[in-house]
């Protein structure tokens, strides 16, 4: 042990030093209280022996000063005194001492007291380490090793104080992994955990050492940037994060492509105070998600208003189905050459009591987010089957009905059975039904939806690839999936007359699709020129406002009737 001995008597000092050395300890001698305080700081002893009576500063005062220096670093103190009475003992303990040794002392007593002190000291160190570990545990996230929500809440308060005091601009970034729930549900929590870990690692690699990062929810992370010159700097960091996080992940034999959405709120800023800072970053993050994910957004006052409306919309969507506000529309799909309706697409619409008709482009993603899509999707399928039965029984037997499917629905393992049952109950042939799947979802989720799609295909239900051209898939790659139809996205069709690139793309997709044996449908035909172009280039099928708007159930019944009677199928 390293023992600091303070005694102003040279003889006693030498005596103790000799004894201690004999007992195998290292000695740091001090000839006064002042020197002892200094040596305590510079040489960090394991034990201190203080003579009570010293000139200038007595042992008690010396102990008091040592104790005041470092509350965390407890070192045992033994007083050395000629007379030990009750009053002295009390004084010593009050000053921070731990034991007494009377002069003259025996070496055996000295050794025993040191051993006892050492034991206490060891225990004290263990306790200190355990406390440190516990405090680290209570502030870190066990899975990723970054800080947790608790520490985030504490740090936010500290940072606000720091910003107010030193007039610093701070940025809070809320980062959410897009579609993480899907990975967790389909590939299991093990892969989900690996992904979160890798995600946290990559996030850290984008930051400086003094930036703060925490996981504050399942797949939600928060970052506080402490020293930024302008809000734009936070945007630069967000850009970097989005890029790094979108690089592919190789986890447990799976190749995953992920994206993230980031919301940024700076403090202080005109719309952000200490009460709403966190909430504003969250609102900005939701806005990024609404804008199609894989992007970052700053908080603005307008967003706050939008957010309130969004919350209202969410509330009313939850009850829309029960209140029978959802209904189906049917858009005819024509054989373009024969100008004859051969199929129809079922579109789900929402008649909001105050806001009127709300586009599925708005409420379907919302339903996905809120976990309502399974129920809504099932309702659409069931209603479509019921309607198909009605028409089929009325004698209209040669049409195909396409129903849009959300990627989430593919995760329902019992979807094929459900569809089979619906068809069985309605007594309609499976060939009447086709399911539309967007290209991006088919591609991203192909590894876990393949099985479900194959089963649906085995039932005899067709599968169409919707919005083709917006993803990055090649037709040959998609050949793996049991797809029967591809629908060229309306963005390309709208440009075929004015943009030679779009024209080229559409021409080649039609040619390739025809060669590979897919039915090819052009979406969004709005002009006679577009229609002619498609006919000239052998696109067999098409839909669009130029041909028909989506129709109500009554209008569609009339059209089916006309169709059967062999009347012209073109509205114009």
Inter-residue contact 497 to 530 (CB < 8 Å): yes
DSSP-derived secondary structure for 533-556: HHHHTT--EE--TTT---B-HHHH
Q: In this chain, which of 244, 526, 535, 570 binds ligand C2E, going by CB under 6 A?
A: 526
Distance CA 66, CA 35 (A): 11
Interaction partner, residue 297 (ligand C2E, Mg ion, none; CB < 5-8 Å by kind): none
User: Over the range 300-312, which residues count as b (16 or more CB within 10 Å of their CB) and which as e?
Assistant: beebeeebeebee
Residue 188 CA to residue 94 CA, distance in Å, equals: 60
| Given 81, 179, 272, 406, the residue binding ligand C2E (CB under 6 A) | 406
Give the angle 496-515-434 at the CA atoms, nearest 5°: 80
| Cβ atoms within 10 Å, residue 273 | 12
Q: What's the CA gap between 262 and 288, in Å, rounded?
A: 6
Is residue 104 reached through a cis peptide bond, with omega within 30 degrees of 0 on the bond before it?
yes
Question: If DSSP codes are grouped into helix, strand and coil, which group holds residue 429?
Answer: coil
- Nearest distance from C-beta of residue 532 to ligand C2E, angstroms: 15
The residue (of 331 and 473) whose beta carbon lies closer to ligand C2E is 331
Q: Tell me the window of 8-16, 24-32, 265-273, 523-531 that interacts with ligand C2E (CB under 6 A).
A: 523-531
Which phi and psi angles does 336 have, rounded to 5°?
-65, -40
Residue 348 binds ligand C2E (CB under 6 A): yes
* Alpha-carbon distance values, 401 to 245, 301, 539, 543 (Å): 39, 44, 19, 13
Tell the smallest beta-carbon distance from residue 347 to ligand C2E (Å): 4
Tell me the window of 18-26, 359-367, 385-393, 443-451 that interacts with ligand C2E (CB under 6 A): 359-367
Shortest reach from residue 227's CB to ligand C2E, in Å: 44
524 is a contact residue toward ligand C2E (CB under 6 A): yes
Shortest distance in whole angstroms from residue 428 CB to ligand C2E: 18
Taking CB under 6 A as the binding criterion, the range among 57-65, 216-224, 242-250, 521-529 that sits at the site for ligand C2E is: 521-529
Q: Could you say which of Mg ion, ligand C2E, none residue 416 binds, taking C-beta under 5 to 8 angstroms by partner kind?
A: none
Count of residues of this chain found to bind Mg ion when the rule CB under 5 A is applied: 5
Q: Which is nearer to Mg ion, 219 or 436 (CB)?
A: 436
Contact 482, 457 (CB under 8 A): yes
DSSP string, 32-83: SHHHHHHHHHHH--SEEEEES--SSS-HHHHHHHHHHH-SSS---EEEEES-
Tokens 């591809």: give the residue. Answer: 486
| Structure tokens belonging to residue 242 | 């989005």
**Inter-axis angle of helices 277-290 and 301-320, to 10 degrees?**
60
Shortest separation between residue 544's beta carbon and ligand C2E, angstroms: 3
Say whether residue 361 binds ligand C2E (CB under 6 A): yes
Which stretches of 26-169 are assigned E, i.e. beta strand? 26-30, 47-51, 77-81, 99-102
Stretch that binds Mg ion, among 144-152, 208-216, 430-438, 449-457 (CB under 5 A): 430-438
Q: Which of 364, 419, 426, 428 binds ligand C2E (CB under 6 A)?
A: 364
Q: Which of residues 73-132 bind ligand C2E (CB under 6 A)?
A: none
Q: Does an H or E element contain 243, and which?
A: helix 231-246
Does residue 366 bind ligand C2E (CB under 6 A)? no
Least distance CB 429 / ligand C2E (angstroms): 21
Q: Which residues pair with 92 in a beta bridge?
A: none
Q: Provide the token pair at 243.
A: 């890029």
* Contact residue for Mg ion among 466, 533, 541, 550 (CB under 5 A): 466
* Exposure class string for 465-500: b at 16+ Cβ within 10 A, else e: bbbbbebebebeebeebebebbbbbbebbbbbeeee
**Closest distance of CB 215 from ligand C2E, Å:** 31
Which C-beta is closer to Mg ion: that of 387 or that of 404? 404
Among 550, 551, 556, 569, binds ligand C2E (CB under 6 A): 550
Sheet of 260-267, strand order = 212-217, 220-225, 170-177, 260-267, 296-298
Indicate whether 467 belongs to the interface with Mg ion (CB under 5 A).
Answer: yes
Of 6, 419, 490, 531, the one binding ligand C2E by CB under 6 A: 490
Which of positions 497-536 make contact with Mg ion (CB under 5 A)? 523
Q: Which is nearer to ligand C2E, 65 or 378 (CB)?
A: 378
**C-alpha distances out from residue 73 to 120, 132, 318, Å:** 13, 13, 58
Q: Is 404 in the site for Mg ion (CB under 5 A)?
A: yes
Nearer to ligand C2E by Cβ, of 185 and 220: the residue is 185
360 lies in the site for ligand C2E, by CB under 6 A? yes
Which residue from 66, 80, 334, 347 is in contact with ligand C2E, where contact means CB under 6 A?
Answer: 347
Range list of H helices, 352-463: 360-370, 373-393, 415-426, 439-444, 446-459
Residues 6 or more apart whose Cβ sits within 8 Å of residue 108: none
> Phi, psi (5° rounding) for residue 288?
-60, -40
Question: Which of ligand C2E, Mg ion, none is residue 544 near (CB under 5 to 8 Å by kind)?
Answer: ligand C2E
Q: Is 332 in the site for ligand C2E (CB under 6 A)?
A: no
Residue 406 is a binding residue for Mg ion (CB under 5 A): no
Contact letters for ligand C2E, residues 447-486 (x by CB under 6 A) = -------------------xx-------------------
Scan for tokens 């720091």, then name that residue: 162
Task: Work out which of 211, 436, 439, 519 binds Mg ion, going by CB under 5 A.
Answer: 436
Closest to Mg ion by CB, 186 or 543: 543
Residue 364 binds: one of Mg ion, ligand C2E, none (C-beta under 5 to 8 A by kind)? ligand C2E
439 part of the interface to ligand C2E, by CB under 6 A? no
> By the criterion CB under 5 A, which residues form the site for Mg ion?
404, 436, 466-467, 523
> By the criterion CB under 6 A, which residues form the site for ligand C2E?
331, 347-348, 359-361, 364, 377, 380, 404-406, 436, 466-467, 490, 523-526, 543-545, 550
């Amino acid at each position: 042990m390293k023992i600091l001995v303070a005694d102003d008597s040279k003889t006693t000092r030498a005596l103790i030093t000799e004894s201690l050395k004999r007992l195998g300890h290292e000695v740091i001698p001090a000839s006064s209280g002042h020197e002892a305080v200094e040596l305590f700081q510079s040489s960090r002893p394991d034990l201190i022996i203080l003579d009570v009576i010293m000139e200038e500063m007595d042992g008690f005062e010396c102990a008091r000063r040592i104790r005041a220096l470092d509350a965390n670093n407890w070192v045992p103190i033994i007083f050395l005194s000629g007379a030990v009475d009750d009053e002295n003992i009390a004084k010593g303990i009050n000053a921070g001492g731990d034991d007494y040794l009377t002069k003259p002392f025996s070496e055996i007593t000295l050794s025993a007291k040191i051993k006892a002190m050492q034991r206490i000291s060891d225990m004290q160190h263990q306790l200190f380490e355990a406390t440190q570990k516990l405090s680290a545990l209570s502030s870190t996230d066990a899975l990723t090793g970054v800080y947790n929500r608790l520490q985030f809440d504490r740090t936010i308060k500290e940072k606000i104080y720091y910003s107010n005091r030193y007039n610093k601009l701070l940025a809070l970034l809320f980062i959410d992994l897009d579609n993480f729930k899907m990975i967790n549900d389909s590939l299991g929590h093990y892969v989900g955990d690996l992904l979160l870990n890798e995600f946290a690692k990559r996030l850290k690699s984008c930051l400086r050492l003094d930036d703060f990062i925490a996981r504050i929810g399942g797949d939600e992370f928060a970052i506080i940037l402490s020293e930024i010159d302008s809000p734009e700097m936070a945007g630069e960091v967000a850009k970097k994060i989005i890029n790094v996080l979108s690089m592919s992940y190789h986890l447990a034999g799976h190749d995953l492509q992920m994206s993230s959405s980031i919301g940024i709120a700076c403090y202080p800023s005109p719309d952000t105070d200490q009460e709403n800072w966190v909430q504003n970053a969250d609102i900005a993050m939701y806005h990024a998600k609404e804008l199609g994910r894989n992007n970052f957004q700053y908080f603005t006052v307008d967003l706050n208003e939008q957010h309130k409306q969004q919350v209202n919309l969410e509330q009313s969507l939850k009850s829309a189905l029960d209140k029978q506000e959802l209904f189906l529309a049917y858009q005819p799909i024509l054989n373009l050459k024969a100008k004859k309706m051969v199929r129809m697409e079922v579109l789900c619409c929402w008649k909001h009591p105050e806001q009127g008709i709300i586009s599925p482009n708005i409420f379907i993603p919302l339903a996905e987010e809120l976990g309502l899509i399974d129920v809504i999707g099932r309702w659409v399928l069931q209603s479509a089957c019921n309607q198909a039965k009605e028409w089929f029984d009325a004698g209209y037997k040669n049409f195909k009905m396409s129903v849009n499917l959300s990627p989430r629905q593919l995760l329902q393992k019992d979807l094929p059975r459900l569809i089979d049952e619906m068809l069985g109950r309605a007594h309609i042939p499976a060939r009447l039904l086709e399911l539309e799947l967007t290209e991006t979802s088919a591609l991203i989720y192909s590894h876990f939806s393949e099985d479900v799609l194959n089963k649906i295909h085995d039932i005899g239900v067709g599968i169409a690839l919707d919005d083709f051209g917006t993803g990055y898939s090649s037709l040959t790659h998609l050949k793996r999936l049991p797809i029967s139809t591809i629908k060229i996205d309306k963005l390309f069709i709208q440009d075929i007359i004015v943009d030679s690139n779009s024209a080229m793309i559409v021409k080649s997709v039609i040619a390739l699709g025809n060669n590979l044996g897919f039915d090819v449908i052009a979406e969004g035909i709005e002009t006679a020129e577009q229609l002619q172009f498609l006919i000239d280039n052998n696109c067999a099928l098409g839909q669009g406002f130029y041909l028909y708007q989506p129709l109500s159930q009554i209008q569609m019944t009339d059209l089916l009737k006309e169709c059967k009677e062999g009347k012209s199928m073109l509205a114009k």
